[in-house]
Amino acid sequence: MVIDPNDWEPHELEKITRRFTHELAKRTLISPAQNVPAPDMGTGEREMSWMADEYKRLYPNDLNSWGCVTGKPVSKGGIRGRVEATGRGIQYALQEAFRHPKDIEWAGLTGSLSGKRIVVQGLGNVGYHAAQFLSQEDDAVIVGVMERDGAVIDENGIDIDGLHKHIHDNGGVKGFKGYTPDSNSVLTMDCDIFIPAAMEGVITSDNADQIKAKIIAEAANGPVTFSANKILRDRNCLIIPDLYANAGGVTVSYFEWVKNLGHIRFGRMQRRQHERQTNEMVSAIEEMVGLPFPKDKLAKIIEGPTELDLVRSGLDDVMREGYQVISEKWNGDNRIPDLRTAAMMIAIERIRDSYSSLGI
């Protein structure tokens, strides 16, 4: 929708969003069976719960009405792990890339994510979570963050949580340790991985040859133009393309939709059964070997999976498999210039196959 959300008060945005939902519903442009929207730039859990609520008002008899939209808050039929899903997906995509040493070496890197220097453009929902997970869990170092009003540089690693709070409280990065008003200096600074997480068309032929990153993980949709893509590819910059890299959001949205249709939380039926069975197994092992099970491992092993565990497992599986398929395609045919082309080819082949199975 053509609207600047900052121009409106929350109660006005609610009215507009509900009216918009009404207009979409009249034309079946929102429906649990056919068309399921989700958040994007400028919208989030709040807007999704307004949309779901409005849809429910219109179709109170539709058993699946919660499934008309995804990205809802957990209290309104959402799923745990959805908010951070796209950022989490970026982390999983990069982890899987680093399990492919040949690809990483092609880009001029070696080893693991640990110690890799990362620059993030845009510390919104996606950029924040990606930066947070990569620095906290993979020991990568976030050396630069670009935002609308400037940038932050810190070679020792930026405190992402602190910066995120600072932006929330002050409306920008100004005043934070390492602040510079010149955000371009971060775009072109020396780093291993660049994560564009703002908007489309930010890397063009004007700035592509100044970008020093060896890997670009496209958290935003369409951040690299067609011309810039060629320039980067020619100097062995490994671009992990948007249509794969940021698929974490839609993947967990799908899990949320399945949860809504199932009317039950993932793991509800199995969790305690898993715990009981594992406890039995542990006591059988103790009986057989005559030794107590190591206490420090016991709790982790017995614990049954929560909804969040299952969402992460499902997302990790999708991201790993996606990279493997794309990388195999790229490496297996030297006519294919990059991962993006390989990913698009796979997608096109799958759409073609679904057409041909219909006889079109």
The distance of closest approach from Cβ of residue 87 to another protein in the complex, given in angstroms and rounded to an integer, is 15
Q: What is the enclosing helix (H) or strand (E) of 121?
A: strand 117-121
For residue 75, give the amino acid letter. S
Q: Which of 59, 254, 275, 298 binds another protein (CB under 8 A)?
A: 254
65: contact with another protein by CB under 8 A: no
Nearer to another protein, 280 or 321 (CB): 321
> Footprint of another protein on residues 312-341 (CB under 8 A)?
314, 318-319, 321-322, 325, 333, 335-337, 340-341
Q: Report the chain's C-alpha Rg in angstroms.
A: 23
Residues 192/212, Cβ–Cβ less than 8 Å: no
| Cα 183 to Cα 197: distance, rounded to the nearest angstrom | 14
Nearest to 204 by CA among 56, 243, 196: 196
- Contact segment (CB under 8 A) with another protein among 147-155, 217-225, 282-290, 291-299 equals 217-225
In the bound state with another protein, the residue whose beta carbon lies nearer, of 143 and 239, is 239
Q: Identify which of 254, 267, 345, 358 has the alpha carbon closest to the alpha carbon of residue 305.
A: 267
Q: Which is nearer to another protein, 65 or 246 (CB)?
A: 246
Residue 3 near another protein by CB under 8 A: yes
Q: How far is the CB of 185 from another protein (least distance, A)?
A: 19
> Does residue 127 touch another protein according to CB under 8 A?
no
Is 172 within 8 Å of 192 (Cβ atoms)? no
Residue from 63, 264, 284, 347 touching another protein (CB under 8 A): that is 347
Q: Hey, what are 120's tokens?
A: 């993030």
Query: Any contact of residue 102 with another protein (CB under 8 A)?
Result: no
Binding mask 136-175 for another protein (x = CB under 8 A): ----------------------------------------
Stretch that binds another protein, among 97-105, 114-122, 162-170, 239-247 (CB under 8 A): 239-247
Is the Cβ of residue 188 or residue 225 nearer to another protein in the bound state? 225
The rounded distance, in Å, linking the Cα atoms of 79 and 29 is 23
Count, residues in the chain: 360
Site of tokens 């490994």: 238
Choose, by CB under 8 A, the member of 136, 170, 205, 279 that binds another protein: 205
Q: Please tell me whether residue 251 adopts helix, strand or coil conformation.
A: helix
DSSP annotation of 62: -
The H or E element that residue 190 is part of is: none
The verdict on 83 binding another protein (CB under 8 A) reads: no
Task: Identify which of residues 9 and 287 has a Cβ nearer to another protein in the complex.
Answer: 9
For residue 32, the one-letter residue type is P
Task: Convert residues 256-295 into a mask of x (bound to another protein by CB under 8 A) and - (unbound).
Answer: -x--------------------------------------
Q: Whose Cβ is closer to another protein: residue 225's or residue 331's?
A: 225
Question: Is residue 58 a contact point for another protein (CB under 8 A)?
Answer: no
Q: Is 145 helix (H, G, I), strand (E, B) or coil?
A: strand
Q: Which of residues 18-57 bind another protein (CB under 8 A)?
A: 19-20, 22-24, 27, 29, 31-43, 47-48, 51
Sheet with 150-153, edge to edge strand ranges: 179-180, 150-153, 141-147, 117-121, 193-196, 215-217, 238-240
Whole-number minimum distance, CB 93 to another protein, in Å? 11
Question: With left for phi above 0 and alpha for psi between -120 and 50, is residue 298 left, alpha or beta?
Answer: alpha
Residue 104 C-beta: closest distance to another protein, Å: 21
